Amino acid sequence: MGLLSGLARGLVRGADRMAEWTSKRGSRTFYKNRGARKTGVLTSSGKFVRVREMVPELVVPRLDAGFKLKPYVSYRAPLGTEEPQTPHKLFMEVVAPRIEKEIKEGTFDPDNLEKYGLERSQEGKIFQLYPKNYVR
């Protein structure tokens, strides 16, 4: 539906005020970003220094040897039956067996829960859980 047919239908004049204002529309000196993030830092001399940590790096599994997953899934595959993982289930699968084993041996120490995975604070960790400081 072009603008001309719209005008013919509506019999009103003027620009389309509701269209999105993008970087393609302004004058020669108009600059507007379209969402790309910076991959480095601009120094005082005007040189742009690329910072390796700011450049996204895709970590991809090896697709050649023994990788069975393909882009699409067959129509014959039924819906899966696995339930979504919850914190309770994660605890019961990972931590509870360790604690049970230690209680049976008699070496359970309620003051030293860090060896079963308890984290009293998120400081010093690279991937902090709260506030979440990683993209995924």
Partner 1 sequence: MRLTALLAMAARVKVPPDYRYGTSRPWTVGAQRMNPPGKKRRKVFVEPIQPEDWSLFKGDTVEVLAGKDSGKQGKISQVIRARNWVILEGLNTHYRYIGKSGEYRGTYIASESPLLVREVALVDPSDRKPTQVEWRFTEEGERVRVSLRSGRILPKPVVQRRDGIVPEQWKDGPKDTSPDDALEKTYSASLKTFEEEIAGATGVVETRAGRRTFWY
**Shortest CB 95 distance to partner 1, Å:** 7
Q: Is 124 in the site for partner 1 (CB under 8 A)?
A: yes
Distance of alpha carbon 101 from alpha carbon 19, whole angstroms: 65
Q: Which CB sits closer to partner 1, 31 or 72?
A: 72
Among 32, 38, 50, 89, binds partner 1 (CB under 8 A): 89
**The one among 36, 55, 63, 126 contacting partner 1 by CB under 8 A:** 126
**Binding to partner 1 by residue 125, rule CB under 8 A?**
yes
- Residue 123 amino acid letter: E
> DSSP label at 49?
E
Instruction: Kindly tell me which of 1 and 49 has the beta carbon lying closer to partner 1.
Output: 1
CB 105 to partner 1: min, Å: 21
Give the burial string for 52-82 (b: 16+ CB within 10 Å, else e): eeeeeeeeeeeeeeeeeeeeeeeeeeeeeee
Binding flags for partner 1, 49-88, as an x/- string (CB under 8 A): ----------x--------xxxxxxxxxxx-x-x--x---
For residues 6 and 18, is the Cβ–Cβ distance under 8 A? Answer: no
d(CA 113, CA 99): 9
Among 57, 62, 61, 38, smallest CA distance to 48 is for 38
Which residue ranges make up the site for partner 1 (CB under 8 A)?
A: 1, 3, 6-7, 9-10, 12, 16-19, 59, 68-78, 80, 82, 85, 89-90, 93-95, 117, 123-129, 131, 133-134, 136
